[in-house]
Chains A and B, each alone.
Chain A
Amino acid sequence: MAYVYMPLLLSLIGFLLVFLCLSPYIKAAYSVMSIISENTAQTSVDETEVPDFKLENTSGETESIPYSPDMYPQLGELYAQIHCDRLGIHENVYFGDSSTELNKGVGQYAGSGIFGFGRTIILGGHHATSFAPLEYVEVGDVFTVNTSYATYTYEVYDMVVANEDDGWAFGFDSDEEIITMYTCYPFTPLASYSQRLYVYARKTSGPYLEH
């Protein structure tokens, strides 16, 4: 009987410790599956109401379009998609960067501008999932952003490794519209992750939102 109740007893208590030990990988794996799947259990957005993103390249057609308050997303809203074919990045962009949004895809700092507004846009993603390919980013890589009102392209012109609270690295002082993509650095486990890789890309096409 001891061969029955002893292992059961040990495993009942041991499960908690094993889960705790493996929790970082379980979370990362869950996050990857969430990104891949359109239908997640924890989504705060009804995925049947995903906006009709402009997939065709309308970027060269108009220089500006009138701004409408409807373009400004709600916190937590899926409001864009970002792609980089060379790096294999195809991510949903959520307005807001809490852990909920970051687990589902790329989260935008809500204090930054929206695409086309002419201001700096700050995008964050996990270095093990949505922004993992940033490890191989190069100057000249092109990112395409599809929103419900227009398509934009951004070209990478610089990247830097800096601390997480180095305000100069956020790119707010840029004169032109740029996206600042950041993720934890380095891309290896067992690190302190007080640093971030910041990747800067300037807008190369897409209409300005007149306001």
Chain B
Amino acid sequence: MKIKKISALVLSLVMVFAMSVTAFGATEDDIKSKLEAAGLPDAYMTQVEQFLANNDLGEDDINAIIEQIDLAVETKGDAKDIASLTAEQKQAIIGNIKAAADVIGATVEIDVEEGKLVVNAGGKTYVVEATSEVVKPTGVSTTATVAVVAVMAVGIFACAVVSKKKVA
């Protein structure tokens, strides 16, 4: 499950920078439209848009990022889905993502446990979470109450069973 989560994030990020863009004249709009054409899920496009709106990327930065994207796509090879990626491939792609982030001075944190990817760039934080983690627990669990009362009940019955002989 953890591997699925991180793989989903990894694959989505590969798709974030998925298409080979010509080295000259590349713009942020080009990146956006290519990502949409590549089928990047809408859930992640929001963060891409927010990131691009908050940062002015120079042509050199875009080109450097695209270079890392191309490497990641090459690493992906013919793998059609996440399950097909080997552990080495996944590690290599994560390395590409981090290198792409380094280009713009951003930091990337991947929390495998929570299935969460956090990018910090230009003093702003961008978050992408696996589908299973988007919606948070918003209910009040009464398990503790039931558990305590149940334990007390069991205790009473246990004492009743043990207590067959009267004490003087």
Q: CB within 8 Å of B: which residues of A?
A: 17, 20-25, 27-28, 67, 69, 72, 74-75, 97-99, 102, 107, 109-114, 117, 119-120, 122, 124-128, 131, 164-165, 167, 170, 172-173, 182-184, 189-191, 193, 196, 211
Contact = CB atoms under 8 A, between A and B. Distances in A.
B43 A107 contact: no
Interface residues of B, number: 36
A127 B141 CA distance: 11
B20 interface: no
B134 A190 contact: no
Contact of A69 (B53, B131, B137): B53
Contacts of B50: 72, 113-114, 117
Contacts of A193: 137-139, 141
Nearest to A129: B140
Contacts of A99: 136
Nearest to A23: B144
Contact of B42 (A25, A28, A173): A173
Given A21-B145, A193-B141, 15 more contacts: A20-B144, A21-B149, A23-B144, A27-B140, A72-B54, A98-B136, A109-B127, A114-B50, A117-B50, A120-B42, A122-B135, A125-B138, A164-B135, A165-B132, A189-B140
Interface of B: 41-47, 49-50, 52-55, 122, 124-129, 131-132, 134-142, 144-146, 148-149
Contacts of B52: 211
B137 A184 contact: yes
21 contacts: A22-B145, A69-B122, A75-B125, A75-B127, A109-B129, A111-B43, A117-B50, A122-B135, A124-B138, A125-B138, A126-B139, A128-B139, A128-B140, A165-B135, A167-B131, A172-B41, A184-B137, A184-B138, A189-B140, A196-B138, A211-B49
Contacts of A211: 49, 52-53
A114 B54 CA distance: 12
Contact of B148 (A21, A74, A167): A21
A22 B149 CA distance: 11
A134 to B, nearest CB: 10
Nearest to B117: A111
Contacts of A110: 125-127
Given A23-B144, A167-B43, A97 B136 contact: yes
A167 B126 CA distance: 19
A193 B55 CA distance: 40
